[in-house]
Amino acid sequence: MKGFVSCPRNCFDGCAFLYDMERGILIPRKDHTGVDGITCVKSRFLLDVARHPERIKKPLLRERDGSWREIDLDEALRIAARQIEKKDKVVRIDYSGNMMLLSRRFHHRLFHVLGAPHVRWDICAEAGSEGLRQSWGVGYGMDLPDMKGSDLVVIWGANVYETSVHAYTYAMKTKQSGGKVFVVDVMRSETASQFDLIRVNPGGDVALALLVFLLLKEKGYTVPMDIPYSPEELASISGVSMDKVGEFVDALITAERPFIFMGYGFQRRMGGGMAVRLISLIPYITHGKPLFYYDRPPYGIDTDYVSGMHLSAGEVWSLTGMHRHIEDLENATIVVMNANPVNTLPRGDVIAETLARPSNFTIVHELFMTDTARHADLIIPSAASVEYEDVMITYGHKYVGLNEAVYEKPPHAITNMDLARSLAHLLDLKQEELYEDDWSVITYVLKKAGVDIDLLRKQGYAPLPEIPIRKEPIFPTPDKVASYVRPAGRGGYNLLTPSRRFRIHSQYWALHKEEEVLYMSGDDADLLGIRSGDMVRLKGENGKSITIKVEVSHDVPQGIIRVFHGVWGSRLNNIISDVMSDMGPNSTLSDTFVYIEKV
């Protein structure tokens, strides 16, 4: 058997594969411009997940004594339907555990009909996207593969060694062919240690971008915006020396094809959307083009049709503020799909408490016994992505990828779409949208977008429509920028919680179990009398605290501490910021400040 497989993960790279049945492996496609024969270690996990010994293969019902009892899928679906009928309210919590077109959205139709609030996915990249929309009309510049062959690469606020194998590979190729690669970051990350670091203060990105504007202006470039600050002021706020910025600007103006890759972490702060907006304008000033990558919206794809937004009653809940929506919830059926909110959303402790509340009935659709599944009353096993058909639209390149079933699904596991259709049937719901079959939805949406379905079927991938973008972007006015010309900081240590290369957030932890560690600078450790291996207590601004093991690192500057998020059993998200940003709406996870004491 040979099949087309697309990686459904929440990842820039959007890898596509051929499944080689004889060898039982996935081969990254070399004939696909967006994949280029490159993939990350996690591609192996796509198959490993399906055969993993810890995978939940039969539904689990919680008994009165707290133990689990295995039941059949039919019984699990009947119990789920009964609970939905019995309770006062239905709540859906979902996010990006599976990013394929239908797997991510088709089930929304059911929850809209049941009156569940629609969930706004405001945790990730919306601040930057909104910043770009204000300048360029759309939250988009170029695609990740456009980075190939650049003579100057700027990786701004991203640790692509951990999070984007394509960006890291292309940057390395630029360096190896004599080009220049700068990394703008608050610390010497794994990526920065390979290239030329421009170390910026946390939240100093707006000041740094304005300083670049100012120096370009001095060199005769047209910058259609007043900048009422001196270079020295901006250098001091950004934390970057005039010499370093001068070196950066010189490299930029002599480059024939610069490319700026922007990450998400630095825009999860107050002012983060403005930072993305200003950075996107730098290559426009020097080269007259949007030579940057930041996200790729599913332009032309009618995601509202897939989600059945016309069925929604209109109530919208925030993902970042989910704990506030549900903290007083009683007598509700809560259904969690595509997500591990107890581990990944702010105040996972409040979410866990609500899921486990006796008056609520919690259904978790999952592959593994995650932090969230542990609080369920009923776990319904989900199908692994290699066990069913769907299509993948990534945010890194312009190709929609076909995903075919190359493994057989366990008999008691169910796809998101079939779960929604089965529950609709058991609940005797009449809306025909609830029963539309998968390929009818896919065909309608892709045809509407102008995608060649025959080519997709034949080749396994097909291009999406081009995204129109303003030729002349709009620059912000100085008064709009003024409040962001300051570093972040409210006292305490700035806690950063980035992604790890073996995980996608908390996904895959079962396949690569790592201990949770806090990295801090040697100077801070000396001041606090801490050594590697010591345990410390981190106290958040919300009064909550966690205990964690320290590792002293020379790559982390004073005032910053770092913990890779997504370790199962972690309490890290109990202390991260749950404040909404000023643009987006978006989370401000990177604006987390904590106090440290040795235990």
| Torsion, Cα of 358, 364, 444, 435 (10° steps) | -60
Q: Is there binding between residue 11 and ligand SF4 (CB under 6 A)?
A: yes
Q: Is 144 or 364 the residue whose CB approaches ligand SF4 more closely? A: 144
Hey, which bits of 12-103 come out as E strands?
A: 16-20, 25-28, 60-62, 68-70, 89-94
Q: Is 329 or 511 the residue whose CB approaches ligand SF4 more closely? A: 511
Other CB atoms within 10 A of residue 41 CB: 11
The closest alpha carbon to 445, from 387, 386, 391, 389, belongs to: 391
Q: Is 290 or 566 the residue whose CB approaches ligand SF4 more closely? A: 566
Q: Is there binding between residue 280 and ligand SF4 (CB under 6 A)?
A: no
- Binding-site size for ligand SF4 (CB under 6 A) equals 11
Considering only residues 35 to 74 of the shown chain, the ones binding ligand SF4 according to CB under 6 A are 39-40, 42-43
Q: How far is the CB of 466 from ligand SF4 (least distance, A)?
A: 22
Name the one range near ligand SF4 by CB under 6 A: 11-19, 66-74, 217-225, 380-388. 11-19
SS3 of residue 522 by DSSP: helix
Q: Is 136 or 461 the residue whose CB approaches ligand SF4 more closely? A: 461
Q: Is 20 or 349 the residue whose CB approaches ligand SF4 more closely? A: 20
Q: How far apart are CA 27 and CA 35, in angstroms?
A: 11
Give the DSSP letter of residue 472: S
Q: Which of 15, 223, 355, 561 binds ligand SF4 (CB under 6 A)?
A: 15
Query: x/- site string to ligand SF4, residues 156 to 185, per CB under 6 A?
Result: ---------x--------------------
Q: Which residues pair with 153 in a beta bridge?
A: 181, 259
197: part of which helix (H) or strand (E)? strand 196-199
Q: Retrieve residue 44's tokens.
A: 């192996």
Q: How far apart are CA 368 and CA 566, in angstroms?
A: 14
Q: How far is the CB of 96 from ligand SF4 (least distance, A)?
A: 12
Q: Is 39 or 189 the residue whose CB approaches ligand SF4 more closely? A: 39
Q: How far is the CB of 6 from ligand SF4 (least distance, A)?
A: 8
SS3 of residue 285 by DSSP: helix
Name the one range near ligand SF4 by CB under 6 A: 10-18, 342-350, 425-433, 489-497. 10-18
Q: How far is the CB of 555 from ligand SF4 (least distance, A)?
A: 23
Q: How far is the CB of 231 from ligand SF4 (least distance, A)?
A: 39
Q: Is there binding between residue 32 and ligand SF4 (CB under 6 A)?
A: no
Q: How far is the CB of 13 from ligand SF4 (least distance, A)?
A: 4
Give the DSSP letter of residue 145: G
Name the one range near ligand SF4 by CB under 6 A: 34-42, 188-196, 378-386, 562-570. 34-42
Instruction: Check: CB of residue 177 under 8 Å from CB of residue 67.
Output: no
Q: How far is the CB of 463 from ligand SF4 (least distance, A)?
A: 18
- ∠ CA 297-487-124 to the nearest 5 degrees? 25
Q: How far is the CB of 270 from ligand SF4 (least distance, A)?
A: 29
Q: How far apart are CA 325 and CA 337, in angstroms?
A: 17
Name the one range near ligand SF4 by CB under 6 A: 3-11, 103-111, 309-317, 383-391. 3-11
Q: Which of 7, 154, 208, 594 binds ligand SF4 (CB under 6 A)?
A: 7
Q: Is there binding between residue 9 and ligand SF4 (CB under 6 A)?
A: yes
* Strand 493-496 to 461-463 pairing: unpaired
- ∠ CA 267-494-263 to the nearest 5 degrees? 25
Instruction: Check: CB of residue 171 under 8 Å from CB of residue 38.
Output: no
Q: Is 3 or 308 the residue whose CB approaches ligand SF4 more closely? A: 3
Name the amino acid, one letter, at 107: H
Q: How far is the CB of 395 from ligand SF4 (least distance, A)?
A: 10
Name the one range near ligand SF4 by CB under 6 A: 13-21, 189-197, 288-296, 419-427. 13-21
SS3 of residue 354 by DSSP: helix
Q: How far apart are CA 96 and CA 338, in angstroms?
A: 6
Q: Is 32 or 199 the residue whose CB approaches ligand SF4 more closely? A: 32
Instruction: Show Cβ contacts of residue 219 under 8 Å, excluding neighbours closer than 6 positions.
Output: 249, 253
Q: Is 12 or 213 the residue whose CB approaches ligand SF4 more closely? A: 12
Q: Is 165 or 380 the residue whose CB approaches ligand SF4 more closely? A: 165
Say whether the peptide bond before residue 585 is cis (omega within 30 degrees of 0): yes
Q: How far is the CB of 403 from ligand SF4 (least distance, A)?
A: 12
Q: Is there binding between residue 103 and ligand SF4 (CB under 6 A)?
A: no
Give the DSSP letter of residue 9: S
Q: Which residues pair with 185 in a beta bridge?
A: 199
Helix axes 231-238, 242-254, angle to 10 degrees: 100
Name the one range near ligand SF4 by CB under 6 A: 12-20, 291-299, 332-340, 347-355. 12-20
The closest alpha carbon to 154, from 62, 266, 52, belongs to: 266
Q: Which of 3, 14, 145, 585 binds ligand SF4 (CB under 6 A)?
A: 14
Q: Is 493 or 508 the residue whose CB approaches ligand SF4 more closely? A: 508
Instruction: Check: CB of residue 311 under 8 Å from CB of residue 436.
Output: no
Q: How far is the CB of 405 from ligand SF4 (least distance, A)?
A: 18
Binding site for ligand SF4 (CB under 6 A): 7, 9, 11, 13-15, 39-40, 42-43, 165
